[in-house]
């Protein structure tokens, strides 16, 4: 059995949900396609497809194999064009994860140019405040903001984002401008926590080479960066966030920077990926491109 050929037929059957249509599109008898898929299942020791009289659909194992087979065939196709310098020779799927604000403010505005340059790349972009499992969820690379935990993955530093303190004009009109850290005891800070139920210690300040926390008022805790920024815009309190995600609101004077002499420590930005060796060209090109984009925003 030609396993690569069998994979190609399997993908066609899975996508068309029909042995008949897959056979017609391949110019083969239906029986030949069926025998190839059966031989592949026997080789793997699992059933990949549920067959009914009306249609064909993937089993749980079939879903996993389908995703891996697509990536493998894309890598083989890319390998065939390894020494070609035509951008159109680079193809396949990229699965990337990054924080919502970064995807919205940094990546998406620049993405059309990248996809026009490499039209064969299919991008799957995940963006949330959840820390995805890079290996188990099949991500090629992810962007993490903040201090990293030891995960056994490869980490490539991209720089640091300046963090500023902001409040809305409405909030400042009602409660006044804090001038010192002591003033914060009578001000509301919007708290951010990955897991609700835990509450950050307070307003962070980078002094003398270390982070110090100042106790403040504030009764709202959120677990989404979008909600965090929205709460500040609504006048619910002071936030501390990377400047890059607040630039538009600052320009429009919807937010005002306060206490510039008491900022939190800059937030490191890192590109995380599973393997240093055997990195596909499309993943390597995307990471180099993203590193270039980030240079305009990091210190």
- pLDDT of 34 > 80? The answer is yes
This prediction has a pTM of 0.68
Q: Do domains 87-159+268-294 and 163-265 have the same CATH topology?
A: yes
170 or 104, which is more confident: 170
Helix/strand/coil (H/E/C) assignment for every residue in the chain: CCHHHHHHHHHHHHHHCCHHHHHHHHCCCHHHHHHHHHHHHHHHCCCCEEECCCCEEECHHHHHHHHHHHHHHHHHHHHHCCCCCCHHHCEEEEEEEECHHHHHHHHHHHHHHHHHHCCEEEEEEEECCCCCCCCCCCCCEEEEECCCCCCCCEEEEEEEECEEEEECHHHHHHHCCCCCCHHHHHCEECEECCCCCCCCCCEEEEECCEEEEECCECCCEECCHHHHHHHHHCCCCEEEEEHHHCHHHHHCCCCEEECCCCCCCCEEEEEEECCCCCCCHHHHHHHHHHHHHHCCCCC
**Which CATH code for domain 163-265?**
3.40.190.10
Q: Name the residue ranges covered by the structural domains of the chain.
A: 3-80, 87-159+268-294, 163-265
- 3-80 CATH, one of 1.10.287.1060, 3.40.50.1820, 2.30.140.10, 1.10.10.10: 1.10.10.10
**Which CATH code for domain 87-159+268-294?**
3.40.190.10
Reported as a pLDDT band with limits 50, 70 and 90, residue 278 is low
Tens-place pLDDT, residues 99-138? 988 898 889 999 999 999 988 888 999 998 888 888 777 7
Reported as a pLDDT band with limits 50, 70 and 90, residue 80 is low
């Amino acid at each position: 059995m030609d396993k690569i050929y069998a994979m190609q037929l399997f993908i066609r059957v899975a996508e068309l949900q029909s042995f008949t249509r897959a056979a017609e599109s391949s110019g083969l008898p239906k029986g030949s396609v069926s025998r190839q898929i059966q031989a592949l299942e026997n080789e793997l020791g699992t059933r990949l497809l549920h067959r009914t009289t009306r249609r064909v659909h993937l089993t749980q194992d079939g879903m996993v194999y389908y995703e891996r087979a697509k990536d493998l065939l894309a890598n083989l196709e890319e390998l065939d064009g390894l020494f070609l310098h035509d951008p159109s020779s680079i193809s396949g799927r990229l699965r990337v994860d990054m924080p919502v604000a970064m995807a919205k403010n940094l990546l998406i505005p620049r993405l059309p140019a990248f996809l026009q340059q490499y039209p064969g790349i299919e991008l799957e972009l995940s963006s949330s405040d959840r820390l995805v499992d890079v290996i188990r969820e099949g991500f090629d690379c992810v962007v993490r903001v903040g201090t990293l935990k030891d995960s056994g993955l490869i980490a490539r530093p991209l720089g640091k984002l300046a963090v500023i303190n902001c409040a809305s004009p409405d909030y400042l009109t009602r409660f006044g401008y804090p001038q010192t850290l002591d003033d914060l005891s009578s001000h509301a800070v919007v708290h951010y926590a990955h897991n609700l139920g835990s509450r950050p210690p307070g307003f962070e300040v980078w002094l003398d080479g270390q982070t110090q926390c100042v106790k403040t008022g504030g009764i709202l805790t959120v677990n989404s960066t979008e909600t965090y920024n929205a709460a500040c815009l609504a006048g619910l309190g002071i936030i501390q966030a990377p400047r890059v995600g607040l630039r538009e609101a600052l320009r429009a004077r919807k937010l005002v920077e306060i206490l510039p002499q008491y900022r939190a420590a800059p937030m490191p930005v890192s590109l995380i990926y599973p393997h240093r060796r055997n990195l596909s060209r499309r993943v390597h090109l995307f990471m180099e491109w993203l590193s270039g984009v980030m240079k305009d925003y990091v210190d």
